[in-house]
Amino acid sequence: MRANTGKADTGLPAREENKTETRHAFDRSPALAARAALHDSHDFARRFGGKRAHARVRRSTCIVIDGTRAMSKFENPETDAAEAQSARTSGPRAKSNGGSHTPDPDAIALPSAMVDITPQQAGTQTLLRGLAILEAAANGARAVARDLRSFGVALGTTRSTTHRLVSSLVQARYLRQVQGGYLLGPKLIELGTIALEQMPLTAVARPHLQALADYTHDTIHLGVRNGDDVLYIDKIPGTRGLEMRSRVGHCMPLASTGIGKAMMLDLEASAWKKLLEASHRALAKMSFRPDNRPDFDTFLQRMTRYSQGGFTFDLEENEASIRCVAAPVRDASGAIVAALSVASTIPYMPHERMEELIPVVQREARAVSEELGWRAPLAARRIKR
């Protein structure tokens, strides 16, 4: 009489019943099901094909990823259990054991990206490559087209991949094809214009003006050119209890102020002379004690030094006892679009301190310029890929 084990009586011998239960388990697991099918193929080879057929079935092809055996298309079930037991008892193989890895002659070496990379990572890589192409086009000499080969060298991609990326950018108008290669496209002009509209100068410059104010405790100005004058568009008063006649919305002659002269640095000497004359006319009714307004020869000498150094001084030329250090702000085209300055009275602004403030003021002016899209000439600009 058969004992009641809680299982349904299938009417099959115990061995066959165990096989049936195992089959059900395999059916629920695709990996186990594949293994069962593989076992059947080996069993068939042993029964009907002899040793030669069995050897053919045993032959496996594995994929190696960065030198590591990752996946096999066929496995030998007779050695799987032994290998698994060996792996469990010996643990993971240390890389520092000095042993050499013998490559499988049937291994197919594939880059890890083909297996490890996710769709999200693949999309990010494509995006960064596209941006790198735009950077490569922008880094070339102006009005000089870049060809597919130069893009491929910059990206380290094959010609087919480079062509696919460049074609997509041309279709989206980020690049335009011309004779001899590709240039930046009109879409970037549209986006750049919108970006400038969304980024007012005062909003961009304010944190840098505040940094200057915190560092120097002096009065900080931001101005733009308005004809022959400088228009003050932002001001942070100093903390030394001093008051100046400058104010937001107020105009002063370009050639008599440090901030105004900073916007004259790229002009020719003839333009310097005209603006100095305009400044003298504007300040003719004002009395200076002492009169520090320079003649043209002195002004030319100073402006030549300023132009070479990328800074300017106001040596009491606009307001008695007030001195300042200024530097220009440039946009993406490299043109001077504004200037900023640090101003204080003579006791707080001796010549020695003015010289010390030059790199400080220039640093903040460059920071504002970079936020407006300016880049230093020949600077290395690359996107990590």
| CATH T-level topology, domain 119-192 | Arc Repressor Mutant, subunit A (1.10.10)
Helices (H), 144-268: 148-155, 159-171, 186-197, 201-216, 258-262
Q: Where in the chain is the domain with CATH 3.30.450.40?
A: 200-371
CB atoms within 10 A of CB 287: 7
Separation between Cα atoms, residue 258 and residue 253, nearest integer Å: 10
Q: Where in the chain is the domain with CATH 1.10.10.10?
A: 119-192
Place of tokens 């030094």: 305
Separation between Cα atoms, residue 24 and residue 7, nearest integer Å: 14
**Per-residue pLDDT for 195 more than 90?**
no
The CATH superfamily assigned to 200-371 is GAF domain (3.30.450.40)
Summarised one tens digit per residue, pLDDT across range 278-337 is 998 888 877 665 567 888 899 999 999 999 999 999 998 888 889 999 999 999 889 999
Collapse the DSSP code of 236 into the 3-class scheme (helix H, G, I; strand E, B; otherwise coil) and give the result.
strand
| Among 96-100, 143-147, 367-371, the least confident range | 96-100
Q: Are 62 and 109 in contact (CB under 8 A)?
A: no
Q: Are 106 and 59 in contact (CB under 8 A)?
A: yes
- Model's pTM, two decimal places? 0.54
CB atoms within 10 A of CB 174: 21
